[in-house]
Amino acid sequence: MASNGLPKIETQKLEEEICHDDSVAPVKAQTVDELHSLQLKKSGPNTPIIQQTAFGAEAADKNKQQLQSISASLASLTRETGPKVVKGDPAKQPETPKVVHASQQHQQTPAFSNITDSALKFTHILYNLSPAELYEQAIRYEKGSFITSSGALATLSGAKTGRSPRDKRVVKDDTTSEELWWGKGSPNIEMDEQTFLVNRERAVDYLCSLEKVFVNDQFLNWDPNNKLKVRIVSARAYHSLFMHNMCIRPTPEELENFGAPDFTIYNAGKFPCNRYTHYMTSSTSIDLNLARREMVILGTQYAGEMKKGLFSVMHYLMPKRQILSLHSGCNMGKDGDVALFFGLSGTGKTTLSTDHNRYLIGDDEHCWSGHGVSNIEGGCYAKCIDLSREKEPDIWNAIKFGTVLENVVFEEHTREVDYTDKSVTENTRAAYPIEYIPNAKIPCVGPHPKNVILLACDAFGVLPPVSKLNLAQTMYHFISGYTALVAGTEEGIKEPTATFSACFGAAFIMLHPTRYAAMLAEKMQKHGATAWLVNTGWSGGSYGTGSRIKLAYTRKIIDAIHSGELLNANYTKTEVFGLEIPTELGGVPSEILDPVNAWPDKGAYKETLLKLGGLFRKNFEVFTNYKIGADNNLTEEILAAGPNF
């Protein structure tokens, strides 16, 4: 009996052969901080403090050159040196690190009158962080960042939930004034060099004033002969992870030898432009300088501005190399047959090009060179509104750890996303690496296309679900770029509105639309591609009275194009537009193949058809004076392919 009155517990020593001692030695740490330091293994590219350790002197020199390059990118144009930069999270810096800056001469101690607060501070560079590291940064420091039940990172883009095309500016100089498309219908709104430099200085000063900035060095274009090196400097982990997913991710070896970028983005996010600056019409400004190969973003946190800004750059640079840049999805069949999908946001381009029976080359941006097609990007940017596992399983399954979910609504406790909820915006999006699609073709390149599919979301409901186009009709509808602007894609759009967008992407093209059309015609003729116009919009009436064509029917049509079944179908011509439409197609109701049959009011159909034809004609007037080739014959042929009353 123990002294406290309780029975004494007796233990017997067990024989060693009966009881195995499976205890382990305690950790070799004396403090909690020391224990945590054992948890993390140092890695080359992101080592916080550059030292000549196991990496050797050569690696240290390359890291120093890398930091000097970043410092040069962040340099003010009015000072001889860039900011003091050091790699690593300032929260993890044990002491003042060694500084690296860019300078054209030996650094002298500045005169007292020249010393500023910004000159005394360090700018910490979070360089090419991994998705896991960016998750930690976002969740810890950025309000509105959460891990959803699928593992994706949910973020908010602030006040702007779509692009701001009216705030986009392009520097007009002696070169761009001649090369670019200006004037009526053009997306290019001019600004001068001086105003660009003012905005650049504002963005750079803001970024350098922060305790830390995110820097991504990545690539555009999977074609190894036409790859572009891009550097993105941003203030948010959300932006860094978004571009990590959307650009092509370099290997450690490529990153080590990256050198100076071919193009740089300065994304100041929510920090506004100065409204008193010339050419500014709001607190938002997205500025492109093709001569300096730089882009400045002020007053918007919407990440899509970076993606589409780089797309505009490719629309300028690639045609100079006789390469056609395309706003299109692209996939390839098991037999190597490639299909291009042209269409604006909301027409189904991402959904239809993501087909589990075919290899995905890319969902949005491509180049067509003399060797075939290549994806410009390293990821996909899919609309999420009303997303379901049943309708789009590949996209659904791609929303997992590493994916950025923009502006979605989720259940507070379970973190399950409600893709039908439009409380923040209808323009909810998911950005994920293309490798997240199981049938993605890596590298994202393919042979010359066999089919060119022009997608239109017809809000008037008078275009057929599918029609076969001759070459002149292809050019006409490619230049016209008719569709409906889907709600949420751009600021200020609340419901679908009929619109025309040249080359199915006028917001991003830099040259005159007929320049791209001529290149497309040449490549289609040379490689024997067939073009199709597919309506993913309304049938049986206009928007509000008719019904949206079922996705299942559209998929049947696309499958018949891929298989060649539609090439052997019987065709009849429609009135006004003169489109060749199949009389029957398995899996698609015959009454909707000819749109007049789906309308209960034939008179209303004819009136609406003539109205749309008139809109096509009026839109095309701006292109009629542009000459294609040595003579004007092709232009006249294209005009004749339009609606005929």
Q: Are 360 and 437 in contact (CB under 8 A)?
A: yes
Question: What is the bridge-based pairing of β-strands 372-375 and 365-369?
Answer: antiparallel
Residue from 87, 160, 163, 231 carrying the catalytic annotation:
163
Helix 471-480 to helix 633-640 angle (10° resolution) is 80
- Sign of the C-alpha dihedral, residues 157, 160, 166, 171? negative
DSSP assignments along 559-582, one per residue = HHHHHTGGGGS-EEEPTTT--EEE
Token duo for residue 43: 């890695």
**366 flagged as catalytic:** no
**550 flagged as catalytic:** no
CA atoms lying within 13 Å on the CB side of residue 373: 37
Tell me whether the omega of the peptide bond preceding residue 83 falls within 30 degrees of 0, making it cis.
Answer: no
Question: What is the bridge-based pairing of β-strands 146-147 and 153-155?
Answer: antiparallel
Q: Rg (Cα) of the chain, in Å, rounded?
A: 29
Residue from 157, 350, 480, 499 carrying the catalytic annotation:
350
d(CA 158, CA 556): 39
**335 flagged as catalytic:** no
Token duo for residue 10: 């007796």
d(CA 571, CA 412): 54
Cβ-proximal residues to 134 (8 Å cutoff; 6+ apart), any chain? 153, 214, 237, 240, 241, 244
**429 flagged as catalytic:** yes
Residue from 71, 176, 345, 489 carrying the catalytic annotation:
345
Question: What is the bridge-based pairing of β-strands 84-87 and 122-127?
Answer: parallel
d(CA 28, CA 26): 7
Residue from 124, 200, 239, 308 carrying the catalytic annotation:
308
Q: How many CB atoms lie within 10 A of CB 186?
A: 19
**308 flagged as catalytic:** yes
**526 flagged as catalytic:** no
Residue from 202, 429, 450, 515 carrying the catalytic annotation:
429
d(CA 572, CA 103): 70
d(CA 347, CA 504): 10
Residue from 167, 364, 394, 458 carrying the catalytic annotation:
364
- Sign of the C-alpha dihedral, residues 168, 174, 177, 178? negative
Residue from 101, 169, 327, 556 carrying the catalytic annotation:
327
Q: Where are the alpha helices (DSSP H) in 218-371?
A: 237-246, 252-256, 304-317, 349-353
Report which secondary-structure segment, H or E, holds 447. none
**349 flagged as catalytic:** yes
Which DSSP letter does residue 380 get? E
Residue from 169, 200, 349, 366 carrying the catalytic annotation:
349
**413 flagged as catalytic:** no
Q: How far apart are the first and last CA of the chain?
A: 111
Q: Give catalytic residue positions.
A: 163, 308, 327, 345, 349-350, 364, 429
